[in-house]
A = this chain, B = another copy of it.
Amino acid sequence: MTKTENIAVVCASGGMDSAVCAALACRDSGRVYFLHADYGQLTETAERERFGRLAAHFGAAGKLLIRLDHLREIGGSSLTDRAIDVPEADLANPSIPSTYVPFRNAQIMSAAVAWAEVLGAGAVYIGAVEQDSSGYPDCRRSFFEAFERAVDLGTRPGTRIDIRTPLIGMKKSEIVRLGLSLGVPFELTWSCYRSEGTACGRCDSCALRLRAFREAGVEDPIPYEKV
């Protein structure tokens, strides 16, 4: 393994998937740098606080906060446009939910790649999940593969930055089990799209998380509103 391959950047929201992804990055790399994006999402204060705690837990070699304020101005998503309500979960409906933030992951990963290029890192990790999730187009495996090709061609010659999506094909319940086996502190994570106090339990993100823990046969350690 070359020196370059031993440094990684992980994109982390503070949610359960990015916590498990960060644990894998730390298991497989010598030094891991943690990147978090503030894109004007409703629960950013809670997310950022959890991101900081997770970065400390995992012994991050460095932290970077990127601000994508323009995503609020662009709108088109119930996570960034206060005029659109975050809907109740509807996991049976295959259409792309209003919580999709346009091309968000490309923006986060482009910044992560820039950082990786300067750090001499060999990998950028992101905890995207394709099948057992909300159906966001920028969470598809094929998208990340195409993006990796763009990274190869758009960075300095000799740069090799892998885009690693270790959870992409997993069921959410498998992610819970994997996280437990890696000692991930799920009690530090935040998933709710709507509330920053007690998780609402009814948005898509809460519903996916609750189902994952239920299917894994484990109790979710964070508190939820009584419904």
> Interface of A with B (CB < 8 Å)?
64-71, 73-76, 96, 100-107, 110-111, 113-115, 117-118, 137-138, 140, 142-143, 146-147, 149-157
- 28 A-B pairs within 8 Å (CB atoms) are namely A64-B70, A64-B74, A65-B70, A66-B68, A66-B69, A67-B69, A68-B111, A70-B111, A74-B111, A74-B114, A76-B118, A96-B156, A96-B157, A101-B114, A102-B113, A102-B114, A102-B115, A103-B151, A103-B154, A103-B155, A106-B113, A107-B111, A107-B114, A137-B153, A137-B154, A137-B155, A137-B156, A137-B157
For A76, list chain B residues within 8 Å (CB). 114, 117-118
Q: How many copies of this kind of chain does the complex include?
A: 2
For A104, list chain B residues within 8 Å (CB). 114
Cβ contact within 8 Å between A154 and B149? no
A42 to chain B, nearest CB (A): 18
Q: Which of B66, B67, B110, B142 contacts A106 (CB 8 A)?
A: B110
User: How far, in angstroms, from A149 to B67 measured CA to CA in the complex?
Assistant: 26
User: How far, in angstroms, from A104 to B103 measured CA to CA in the complex?
Assistant: 16
For A66, list chain B residues within 8 Å (CB). 68-70
Take A107-B111, A137-B154 as given contacts and tell me if A74 and B142 are in contact as well, using a CB distance cutoff of 8 Å.
no
A35 to chain B, nearest CB (A): 8
User: How far, in angstroms, from A21 to B130 measured CA to CA in the complex?
Assistant: 37
Which 7 pairs of residues, A with B, have the shortest CB-CB distance? Answer: A76-B118, A143-B154, A102-B114, A146-B150, A143-B153, A106-B110, A103-B114
For A100, list chain B residues within 8 Å (CB). 156
Cβ contact within 8 Å between A64 and B71? no
Cβ contact within 8 Å between B117 and A140? no
Q: Which of B68, B74, B105, B140 contacts A118 (CB 8 A)?
A: B74
Q: Which of B64, B106, B115, B154 contacts A154 (CB 8 A)?
A: B106
User: How far, in angstroms, from A42 to B75 measured CA to CA in the complex?
Assistant: 30
Q: Which of B71, B114, B146 contacts A71 (CB 8 A)?
A: B114
For A113, list chain B residues within 8 Å (CB). 102-103, 106
Cβ contact within 8 Å between A103 and B117? yes
Beyond A67-B67, A74-B114, A146-B154, 12 additional contacts (C-beta under 8 Å) are A67-B70, A71-B114, A76-B117, A76-B118, A100-B156, A103-B151, A105-B154, A106-B154, A107-B107, A110-B110, A137-B154, A147-B154
